[in-house]
Amino acid sequence: MIPFLPPNPASPSVRPVLLAPMAGFTDAAMRRVSHAFGAALTYTEMVNATGLLRASDKTWHLLETLPGEGPVVAHLYGSEPEAMAAAAAAVWRTGRFVAIDINAGCPVRKIIANGCGSALMPRPGLIGRIVAAMRAASPLPVTVKTRVGLAPDRVLIHEIVSAVEEAGGAALALHARFASQMHSGAVALDLLAAVKQRARIPIIGNGGIRSAADAVRMVRETGVDAVMVGRAAMGNPWLFGAIADALAAPEDAPPPPRPRPDVAEIRAVLSDHLTAARQLQIQIRANHRLPSRALDPEAAVAITFRCHLFRYLSGLAGAAQFRGHLCDYTNTVEILSAVDACLEREAQARATRTSTHIP
Ligand SMILES: Cc1cc2nc3c(=O)[nH]c(=O)nc-3n(C[C@H](O)[C@H](O)[C@H](O)COP(=O)(O)O)c2cc1C
């Protein structure tokens, strides 16, 4: 068990399911919805440690939290032990987080150009020094999220795990792809299994979980201590419960059936998420000095929530029409009325399917 990680809310005997850090997505609103549906632990968006030290409002607003979020990990990037340590102390002083995670896997050019993210991977000694410095600066557990290597001919994960263990890291989340793959392609479950077998710290498995069956497969083939879901949780918080149910089912039983959420439930969850997103924007403006060109909360939500809307409604009967107008909505009232029109079409489509169904 991961010391700072509460058990799976569905059942203490089931491995916990975590929400992965995703820049631009995993703000306090998405984290709160995910937690309500069973995510045992969630991560902030990626936060620049140096930006925190410069006391930049543009950086600090990423660490805003909302009531009811459950345990949250602050996810930082940086490459200098002293700066990461000072940032860890500042994060700890907020009292909002249960752990601090180091981004040692992001392959995006802007991040690696500064020696951060996956640029840390060939330097396990430096990763260890960062972990040790952060541990010395704050009592919070320090974890690392990384990948299996830079490319198939550069597997680096075993050296990284050893360095994190020696430095006293509390856990390691492993996106079982290579940095060269960015976010797609095969997930190296064999390497994940090898890492888990050797590791002395808890290993959190991540990458390619799109369904409950994928999570079960990852756990059975690798034995990881927890699973972490990224993209598949966007617009689908129900997935956390589905995974918990499937992990709790006996090995030889088929996964328990999970009916699609009904239209009223999709509406209620989407609306809760939207309300939280609006609340967050208001809170950010109350607590931080944003540039004068920053949008008002309604306009900001209309933009930042588009990607979530797209996911919640994807595959529903009215979604194509809704998508065509996604950029037209400028406030939450317009968004909800368009959502209602879309869900109405979906309800009609479902009613037609039911009435024409011949058993
Ligand atoms: C939009 C987006 C933003 C991401 N941002 C981060 C990030 O800030 N830090 C990080 O470690 N990983 C980040 N990731 C990677 C995810 O945490 C996760 O490792 C990856 O998506 C694989 O998991 P999945 O297949 O379940 O999506 C991001 C992924 C996406 C799609």
State the number of CA atoms in the 13 A half-sphere of 346 facing the CB. 25
CATH 3.20.20.210 fits 17-248, yes or no: no
For ligand 1, which residues put their CB under 6 angstroms from it? 20-25, 45-46, 75, 103, 105-106, 145, 175, 183, 206-209, 229-232
Q: What is the mean pLDDT of residues 333-346?
A: 93
Residues of the chain with pLDDT > 90: what percent?
Answer: 85
Backbone angles phi, psi at 132, to 5 degrees: -65, -45
Which residues on neighbouring strands pair with residue 98, listed in sequence order? none
Q: State residue 322's pLDDT score.
A: 84
Give 21 Cα–ligand 1 centroid separation in angstroms. 6
Q: State residue 57's pLDDT score.
A: 83
Atom of ligand 1 at shortest distance to CA of 233?
A: 26
Amino acid letter, 109: R
Sorted by where each begins, the domain ranges of the chain are 17-248, 263-355
pLDDT in tens, 110-122: 999 999 999 999 9
Give me the residue label for tokens 């996604």: 326
Give 20 Cα–ligand 1 centroid separation in angstroms. 6
Q: Look at residue 150 and give its three-state secondary structure.
A: strand
Q: Count CB atoms within 10 A of the CB of residue 89.
A: 18
Q: State residue 56's pLDDT score.
A: 81
Q: Please name the residues in contact with 17: beta carbons below 8 A apart, sequence gap of 6 or more.
A: 8, 38, 39, 40, 215, 226, 227, 228, 229, 240, 243, 244, 247
pLDDT in tens, 263-319: 999 999 999 999 999 999 999 999 998 887 888 999 999 999 999 999 999 999 988
Q: Are strands 226-229 and 154-155 parallel, antiparallel or unpaired?
A: unpaired
Give 22 Cα–ligand 1 centroid separation in angstroms. 5
Q: What distance in Å separates the CA atoms of residue 340 and residue 114, rounded to the nearest whole number?
A: 45
Catalytic-residue membership of 106: yes
pLDDT in tens, 89-139: 999 999 999 999 999 999 999 999 999 999 999 999 999 999 999 999 999
Q: Is the pTM of the predicted complex or chain greater than 0.85?
A: yes
Residues of the chain with pLDDT > 70: what percent?
Answer: 98
Residue nearest to atom 3 of ligand 1 (CA): 22
Q: Are 215 and 209 in contact (CB under 8 A)?
A: yes
Residue nearest to atom 5 of ligand 1 (CA): 22
Q: State residue 356's pLDDT score.
A: 65
Mean pLDDT of the chain: 94
Q: State residue 86's pLDDT score.
A: 98
Give 344 Cα–ligand 1 centroid separation in angstroms. 33
